[in-house]
Amino acid sequence: MLGFLRLNEVSHIAGRVDSVFIFITAVGLFFFLLTQGSLIYFALRYRRRKKEEEAETPYITGNFMLETVWVVIPSLLILAIFYYGYVVFMEIRTPPAGAAEIVVTARQWMYQFKYPDGRQEVNQVRVPVGKPVKFVMTSQDVLHGFYLPSFRVMQDILPGRYTYLWVQPMKEGTYDIFCTQYCGTGHSEMRAAMVVMAEKDYQAWLTGEKKAEAKPLAEQGEELVEKSGCLSCHTTDGKPKIGPTFKGLFGSTSHFTDGTSAVADENYIRNYILQPNVKVIKGFQPIMPTFKGILKDDDITAIIAYLKTLK
């Protein structure tokens, strides 16, 4: 039960989070002892004894020096806490390049994990030890949470957009995934497991018996692109047509006619498919039709996976 005091070794980031925690605890403990100690000491030391004449008290109304000290010193300490927290947060928000991607679809009250090769698992995800993995997450209904207590990280999952969470597990084992954003009756039973496997076990699973179900996500996306008519206006070979080419599109920067620009990440592409022409790309006409009602959320996720392969 005292495990919560141990510095975490499950991942590097978890250790960093715990370090910030310990730093804040140290600063907090200092102020706790200082203030509570004074409080209790003064309450007892200057206590009015029942029978004695009330002691004369000094007429002290303030002290500018003291006020300054206990404004300046706490200010410096809280800035330090902020900064340390900020630094670690930036590490948490920056997935390493080349992290394996797993698509997570949350809904009341389960998690569906989709691997790049088309496999799916419900309420369980397998990853190899030592390698970074990035979860690309969306919800099919209401808000959900995705919390890995052992890894000290969490992220909400929203409908209508993608959010991300990455971890690099350094120890084999099975770790809890909890839903932390209230989502209805089954909220407290919405749990999954992340199974971190030794490399050879993971490879065995990857190449082993595979249920003949879904094709790899990227392959599904390629099929959708072909049959949804995207190729009437877009190419995959680098040449612009009526719309920009898909080759190299994901991750590139689009420049719009209003002078702004944006990086084409998952949310950008999803938004553009559903609500094109809100911002018009320089050099192209605002004539892309919307695919709202034609392409489902899962379809768009697959198309994005395909676009990522067109480097």
Least distance (Å) from another protein to the CB of residue 112? 19
Residue 173 DSSP symbol: E
Least distance (Å) from another protein to the CB of residue 309? 26
Least distance (Å) from another protein to the CB of residue 311? 26
Does position 86 interact with another protein (CB under 8 A)? The reply is yes
91-150 residues near another protein, rule: CB under 8 A: 92-93, 141-143, 145, 147, 149-150
Specify the stretch interacting with another protein by CB under 8 A; choose among 73-81, 215-223, 250-258, 282-290: 73-81
15-54 residues near another protein, rule: CB under 8 A: 16-17, 20-21, 24, 27-28, 31-32, 35-36, 38-39, 42-43, 46-48, 54
Give the separation between CA 58 and CA 45, rounded to whole angstroms: 15
Give the separation between CA 5 and CA 27, rounded to whole angstroms: 16
153-182 residues near another protein, rule: CB under 8 A: 153-156, 158-161, 163, 176, 178-182
Specify the stretch interacting with another protein by CB under 8 A; choose among 57-65, 121-129, 203-211, 237-245: 57-65
Sequence-ordered list of residues with C-beta below 8 angstroms from that of 119, at least 6 positions apart, any chain: 210, 211, 213, 214
Q: Rounded to 10 degrees, what is the CA torsion of 293, 298, 303, 304?
A: 120
Q: What is the DSSP string of 196-243?
A: EE-HHHHHHHHHS---S-PPPHHHHHHHHHHHTTGGGT--SSS---SS
Q: Which is nearer to another protein, 46 or 208 (CB)?
A: 46
Number of residues binding to another protein, judged by CB under 8 A: 81
Does position 186 interact with another protein (CB under 8 A)? The reply is yes
Does position 81 interact with another protein (CB under 8 A)? The reply is yes
Least distance (Å) from another protein to the CB of residue 81? 5
253-292 residues near another protein, rule: CB under 8 A: 275
Least distance (Å) from another protein to the CB of residue 90? 7
Among 113, 160, 106, 157, which Cα is nearest to 297's? 160
Q: What is the DSSP string of 83-133?
A: HHHHHHHHHHT-PPTT-EEEEEEEETTEEEEE-TTS-EEESEEEEETTS-E
Angle between helices 297-309 and 266-274 (to 10 degrees): 130
Does position 59 interact with another protein (CB under 8 A)? The reply is yes
Q: Which is nearer to another protein, 106 or 310 (CB)?
A: 106
